[in-house]
Chain A
C-alpha cells in the first residue's frame, strides 16, 4: 500500500509538470516546535512586551496552484501564555485581561484567502479570543517549503495582524492609547499528511 502510494507519488512527480501539484493537508509542527504564536504590545509607549503562547495545535490545507482555496485552523491554549514574568502572566490571564479560567481557548478559523502577490496574501478568518469572535485579516507570506531531511514534506508561513483589544472585550482603558492594540505574529511549518 505504502509502496504503491510512493510509486504513484513518484510517477506524479515525474510525469505531471510541477504546475499541477495538488492541494494537500498539513499538520502544524508543534511537536518539533517549528511553530510560534506570539504577540507584541506596547508598554506605556516606551518599549514592547513580547509574549508567546506555548501550547497550540492546528492544521491547514495548501495548494500552491490554487492558493485562494487555502484554509487554516488553529487552537491556542490561552493558559500557556509566557511573557518571562510569572506575576505578569498571572495578571494577564486573570479576569483583568484574558480571563483564561473562563475562556481557556482561543481559536482561529480561516474564511477566505486573497492573493496579493508572489507568495503573499491576505488571510481572512474568525478569531475567537476572550469569548468574543471577530473577523480579522492577517497578512501572510509563504516563507518556503519542500522536503525536509527526515523524509517529510513541509510548507512554512508567517503572518501578522493588529488586534484592537477592545474588539475582543478586553478593557484597556486604564492604560495609554498605545497599549490598546497589539501585534500578533504567527509562524509555522506544516508537515504534509
Chain B
C-alpha cells in the first residue's frame, strides 16, 4: 500500500508526486503573477509570503521524496528502450531542476543574511549570503530554471498521456492508485 513494488507506486510516492505537481504549477503561476503586481496591490507582500512559504515546504518535501525514491524500488518503466532511457533522463532532470529552482529561490530571499519565515510556523535560516549581487544572480537562475522546469513538466505530462491513451499502458494509472496498477507485459 505505502511502499513501491516492481509493478506500481506505493501511496507514499503517489502522494509525494501529486503534492509536488500541484505545488510546482501553483508556485509557477503565483510567481509569474506576483512579480507583476504593483506596489499598492493588496497581494504585493502576501503573494511572496505564500510563494516563499510553499517553496520552502516543497524543498523539504522534495528532499524527503528523493530519500524515499532512493531507498524504495521503482516500478519497471514501460515503452521501448529509447523511451525508457529518455524517461529516466527526463525524471533526473525534473528532480535536478526542482532543486535548482527551489534553492535559487531560497538564495534570493536569504541574500541579506535573514532567514525565510515559513507561514508563521518556523524560520529557515540563511546559510549562504553576501555573495556579490546574490539576489539578482539567484533571481536570474530562478526565473530561467522555472521556465525550463515548466516546459519539462509539460513534456512529462504529455508523455504520461501518450502512455495512457496511445500505448494503453498503466503508466498514468499506477501514479494514481496503488490498487489499480496492473501488469500488461
Contacts and interface: CB of A to CB of B under 8 A. Distances in A.
A100 B132 contact: no
B112 A79 contact: no
A103 B184 CA distance: 61
Nearest to A85: B112
Contact of B132 (A80, A85, A93, A94): A80
B64 to A, nearest CB: 27
B112 A90 contact: no
Nearest to A83: B112
A86 B38 contact: no
Contacts of A90: 108, 111, 135-136, 139
B132 A89 contact: no
Nearest to A55: B132
Contacts of A93: 133, 135-136
Interface residues of A, number: 15
B136 A87 contact: no
Interface in B128-144: 129, 132-136, 139
B56 to A, nearest CB: 14
Nearest to B48: A87
A175 interface: yes
A89 B108 CA distance: 10
Contacts of A86: 108-112, 114, 129, 134-135
Contacts of A85: 112, 114
A79 B110 contact: no
A79 B40 CA distance: 26
Interface in B105-128: 108-112, 114
Q: Is the contact region of chain B dominated by helix, strand, or loop, or is it mixed? A: loop
Nearest to B129: A86
B39 interface: yes
B109 A87 contact: yes
A148 interface: no
Contacts of A79: 132-133, 136
Given A86-B108, A86-B109, A174 B39 contact: yes
A175 B38 CA distance: 10
Nearest to B142: A90
A93 B139 CA distance: 11
Nearest to A101: B136
B9 to A, nearest CB: 38
A36 to B, nearest CB: 18
A69 interface: no
A174 B36 CA distance: 13
Interface in A73-106: 79-80, 82, 84-87, 89-90, 93-94, 100-101
Contacts of B109: 86-87
A80 B131 CA distance: 10
B105 to A, nearest CB: 11
Interface of B: 38-40, 48, 108-112, 114, 129, 132-136, 139
18 contacts: A79-B132, A79-B133, A80-B132, A85-B112, A85-B114, A86-B109, A86-B110, A86-B111, A86-B112, A86-B114, A86-B134, A87-B48, A87-B109, A90-B111, A93-B136, A174-B38, A174-B39, A174-B40
- Lowest 7 CB-CB distances: which A-B pairs, in order? A86-B111, A90-B135, A86-B135, A86-B112, A79-B133, A90-B136, A90-B139
